[in-house]
Structure 1
Amino acid sequence: MDSPHGAAVTAGNLGLKGPRGWAFRGVDVEARPGSLVAIEGPSGSGRTCLLLALTGRMRPTEGHAEVGGLRLPRKMAAVRRVCALGPVPGVSELDPAFTVAEHLRERALLQRRYGGSLRALLRPRAERIATAQERIDTALAAAGLDPATLPKAERTSVRDLERLEALRLSVALALIGGPRLLAVDDTDLKLSDSERAEAWELLRSVAVDGTTVLAVCSQAPEGALTLRTGTDSENDTNGNGAKSPAGDTDGTKDTAGTADGTTTGKGTADAFAETGRA
């Protein structure tokens, strides 16, 4: 039997401290491959730092974690190879001057150059082009984005996309490489209620297809495993920061730690600065 495509995510007492305090601390989680994990909290609560730590892009200060059996922080580079970032401000943003087609071609080219095998690079040009287009079409379908419906089709500039369309494009770009884990920041930012529902349906469908999804948000959807940041213990659902998902029947353990109350927006920025990602 084939092993699941998605990466399991586990963490124990995970924490990251910057010069002005803890970005997050005491995070415990156990998520099976293909889970939808929501990192819920207010802006400045360390939620983006937690997302980047679990994808091998920020080094935690204490505790441990594993992604797809790769232990953090020892295997950060290996974890980065199996994870892909959707939109993360300051880290992986869309270029507003690029068109949809330019973004897709660039990502396919980078994937072929750095993510493919030597044998793939030596294939005939026509075969390489066909393979790249197949990757693009598959990713667009998974992200629910049909370029033909855009104002200028694939020639539409990113600056002219609606927020939900830009999210779908970012997800499609991330999926071109076939990652085992997809990470998305600010999932529900500036979305209406109906758009928010569509965004979560998109990420849920990606998870159902087998890719583990980590998504930062201000309010987690029902049914997602939820990690909460920036809360005090007396306000937590069960005293330790965990919020049990409704109808959790897949046997996945959901225990999440929270920030210890010292985290501020500056603390999060300091954590980025400490790792060279200010």
Structure 2
Amino acid sequence: MAAVNVADLSILLVEPSATQLKLIQRSLADAGVNHVEGLSSGQEALDVMERFPPDLVVSAMYLPDMTATELVHAMRQHDTLQAVPFMLISSETHFNALDPIRQAGVVAILPKPFGQEELRRALRSTMEFIDPQELELSQVDLDDLRVLVVDDSSTARGHIKRVLSNLGMSRISTAQNGREAADMFANSSFDLIVTDLNMPEMDGLQLVQYVRQRLGDAAVPILMVTSEQDATRLASVEQSGVSAICDKPFEPQNIKEILARVLQQ
């Protein structure tokens, strides 16, 4: 468990509904959070964050002046805000609406209404992201581990890279799609591949097949991080030789357990 205390978290809550704002503030207080500032618009939030960066931003999906996706993308373009964790609370269920914000790298997506245990779990993920415990493996030196992160979203690449760096990995290369990753892997040696599934030119499934079949490398661990919900497509990924599949957004503790398993194998 991370050393940071939930009571010490400074949270910026962006919610246009005054009623929902009070309800969420009450739920956060019940979870032990002492410092919550409520705002109603995305631009207000950006203005406040530039002066006083919070530990966590919690936002509704639809704001008066922008969407939560636009807000998180604006944060990721800002030097002092690009690493601030972002949590979405929304009644939105459509895949096409939620997938862009999953790709942007959020610590959690909570439904409206959410349960108190769901909120506590999301806050634990936030604390693990802010103050992570390095991954400890008996047979693997993380400093020497050569990692390739593959995602067509620069925001997602940055998020995954930050999580892996927090776990103690420093030799991290990135690729924008499977084709670029395949060229890099064919000419360099990597100890771990972390890849998205849906990408242009060559997707994650084709990349796994290229590594396993074309190059004949059955040993390198490949972790698929995806928001894909199609069961048939996921079954094809599982059968392709991928080492593990992880949801977007992923919990730091979950990815630590997956990495510990696949790397020590």
TM-score by length of 1: 0.24
Return the structure number with greater helix share.
2
Structure of greater relative contact order (alpha carbons < 8 Å, 6+ residues apart): 1
TM-score, normalised on structure 2?
Answer: 0.25
